[in-house]
């Protein structure tokens, strides 16, 4: 897949990972710099690249020329040494890109507590710049992976002012996935013309409906980053307000939602995903409480791994979620199969419910009967492979 006009990318092996067959250093360049916006993790242990990326965006007025992203080392909880390593990489990238240091956006993923081997990265950067290409999507989408089964790439397009506008995104993430944000990195590139403030508002809206509505294991990372860059090469008037720009927001949200789905489906050891829709809550916040309680319950997730329609576990999770409701008004359905109606078991065939719970995407609808609040959450199951993978992650 080609990148939107105005962007170049590459992916190479820098030596961070021992496996020389796997790329571990990715690069995105927008010659001359472009407007950008980002959303980051809310984990208090911010990785060095996150600290620098946030400060850089503020100092540059929301402008990015180059993105340097590595896998194999999170460079998180590494103190002054880790920060110094990240700064040295940023400085070298800025020299090669011919831009101010604050227009270089760093991102890292991998093991926490290990300082980035910046000498390896700095040595590899000239080769990364030499390999930049408009068709570099495949290379960079592989370079950012950790425990992912494979790359995650999504595109969408729409017509604006008689011009075809493209939105292309790629991401990594399979474990440590939970709202605020979802360990994930995601990069979305568009040739639409837009101001940084507009991009920030659009990205927050899209993230809320996508990456902040998924969960694999209830853990968030120190490095979670979602970056949006707009080259403006698609032409047309510059977007400054969300009003009247529903097509762009829709395309952006579509790309983010599909990437989010791919992350949950690729959850470490996952075999199926719950699509949890909560309605009838007193507020959207309480609906989210109920959805998250179900989506993060080990009992619910292990039952899902076995394809077991054990709805008692689901209601028990809702009951402890903190959402306020009358138990006698709660209903639960799996697809078209009503399991509970007004707090009482509904008549259904166990084999029919089991068929729904054996699907790759299991639709669950919980009506609390207490108001108009609603929420959606995608959550992976929890099987033996998750334990095996994470028990051996560093060995």
Residue in 300, 299, 190 with CA at minimum distance from that of residue 235: 190
In this prediction, residue 38 carries a pLDDT of 96
Q: How many CA atoms lie within 13 A of 228 on its CB side?
A: 30
Examine domains 8-265 and 273-391 and report if their fold is the same.
Answer: no
In this prediction, residue 212 carries a pLDDT of 82
Cα dihedral value 274, 267, 142, 115, nearest 10: 140
pLDDT classification of 12: cutoffs 50, 70, 90: very high
Identify whether the C-beta of residue 272 lies closer than 8 Å to the C-beta of residue 300. Answer: no
Q: For residue 178, is pLDDT > 70?
A: no
pLDDT classification of 182: cutoffs 50, 70, 90: very low
28 - beta bridge partners?
A: 9, 67
The pLDDT tens digits of the residues spanning 280-335 come to 999 999 999 999 999 989 999 999 989 999 999 999 999 999 999 999 999 999 99
Residues 6+ apart with CB under 8 A from 25: 11, 12, 13, 14, 16, 68, 69, 70, 71, 121, 124, 125, 128, 143
Q: For residue 270, is pLDDT > 70?
A: no
73 - beta bridge partners?
A: 109
The pLDDT tens digits of the residues spanning 209-263 come to 888 887 765 556 688 899 999 999 999 999 999 999 999 999 999 999 999 888 8
- Give how far the C-alpha of residue 244 lies from the chain's centroid of Cα atoms, to the nearest Å: 26
Burial of 284 from C-beta contacts in 10 A (0-12 / 13-18 / 19+): middle
CATH number attached to the domain at 273-391: 3.10.20.340
Query: Which one from 65, 146, 183, 253 is the annotated catalytic residue?
Result: 183
Report the 10 Å Cβ neighbour count for 301. Answer: 26
Cα dihedral value 144, 147, 151, 156, nearest 10: -90
The pLDDT tens digits of the residues spanning 19-41 come to 888 999 999 999 999 999 999 98
Domain ranges of the chain: 8-265, 273-391
Q: For residue 174, is pLDDT > 80?
A: no
Identify whether the C-beta of residue 184 lies closer than 8 Å to the C-beta of residue 173. Answer: yes
Q: Retrieve residue 71's tokens.
A: 């896998």
Q: Is 388 a catalytic residue?
A: no
Q: Is 60 helix (H, G, I), strand (E, B) or coil?
A: helix
| CATH code matching the domain that covers 8-265, chosen among 2.70.150.10, 3.30.70.2860, 3.20.20.140, 3.60.70.12 | 3.60.70.12
Q: For residue 173, is pLDDT > 80?
A: no
Q: Give the phi and the psi of residue 112 in degrees, each rounded to 5.
A: -80, 145
In this prediction, residue 31 carries a pLDDT of 97
In this prediction, residue 235 carries a pLDDT of 96
CA separation for the pair 313, 295 (Å, rounded): 11
The pLDDT tens digits of the residues spanning 123-165 come to 999 999 999 999 999 999 999 987 777 889 999 999 999 999 9
In this prediction, residue 386 carries a pLDDT of 67
Residues 6+ apart with CB under 8 A from 323: 281, 282, 286, 287, 289, 290, 293, 368, 370
Identify whether the C-beta of residue 49 lies closer than 8 Å to the C-beta of residue 107. Answer: yes
Give alpha helix (H) positions in the chain: 48-60, 79-97, 118-130, 137-143, 196-208, 246-265, 284-296, 298-305, 311-319, 350-357, 384-391
pTM here? 0.84
133 - beta bridge partners?
A: 9
The pLDDT tens digits of the residues spanning 59-110 come to 999 999 999 999 999 999 999 999 999 999 999 999 999 999 999 999 999 8
Instruction: 347-353: list long-range contacts, CB under 8 Å, 24+ apart.
Output: 350/309, 353/309, 353/311
């Amino acid at each position: 897949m080609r990148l939107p006009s105005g962007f170049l990318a590459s992916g190479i092996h820098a030596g961070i990972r021992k496996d020389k067959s796997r790329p571990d250093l990715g690069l995105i360049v927008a010659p001359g710099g472009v407007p950008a916006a980002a959303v980051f993790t809310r984990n208090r242990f911010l990785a060095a690249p996150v600290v620098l990326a946030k400060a850089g965006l503020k100092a540059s007025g929301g402008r990015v020329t180059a993105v340097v992203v590595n896998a194999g080392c999170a460079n998180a909880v590494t103190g002054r040494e880790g920060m110094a390593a990240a700064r040295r990489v940023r400085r070298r990238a800025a020299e090669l890109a011919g831009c101010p240091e604050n227009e270089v956006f760093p991102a890292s993923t991998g093991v926490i507590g290990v300082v980035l081997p910046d000498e390896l990265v700095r040595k590899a950067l000239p080769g990364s710049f030499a390999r930049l290409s408009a068709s570099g999507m495949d290379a960079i989408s592989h370079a950012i992976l950790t425990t992912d089964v494979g790359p995650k790439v999504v595109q969408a397009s729409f017509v604006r002012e008689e011009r075809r506008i493209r939105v292309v995104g790629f991401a990594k993430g399979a474990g440590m996935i939970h709202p605020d944000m979802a360990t994930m990195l995601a990069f979305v590139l568009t040739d639409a013309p837009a101001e940084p403030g507009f991009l920030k508002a659009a990205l927050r809206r899209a993230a809320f409906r996508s990456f902040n509505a998924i969960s694999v294991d209830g853990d968030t990372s120190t490095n979670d980053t979602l970056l949006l860059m707009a080259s403006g090469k698609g032409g047309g008037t510059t977007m400054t307000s969300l009003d009247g720009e529903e097509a762009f927001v829709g395309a952006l949200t579509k790309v983010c939602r599909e990437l989010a789905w791919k992350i949950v489906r690729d959850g470490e050891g996952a075999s199926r995903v719950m699509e949890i829709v909560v309605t009838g809550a007193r507020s959207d916040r309480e609906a989210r409480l109920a959805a998250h309680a179900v989506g993060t319950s080990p009992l619910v997730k292990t039952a899902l791994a076995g394809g077991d329609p054990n709805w008692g576990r689901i209601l028990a999770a809702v009951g402890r979620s903190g959402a306020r409701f009358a138990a006698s008004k709660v209903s639960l359905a799996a697809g078209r199969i009503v399991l509970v109606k007004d707090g009482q078991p509904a008549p259904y065939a166990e084999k029919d419910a089991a068929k729904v719970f054996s699907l790759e995407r299991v639709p669950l609808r919980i009506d609390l009967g207490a108001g108009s609040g609603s929420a959606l959450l995608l959550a992976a199951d929890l099987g033996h492979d998750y334990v095996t993978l994470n028990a051996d992650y560093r060995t």
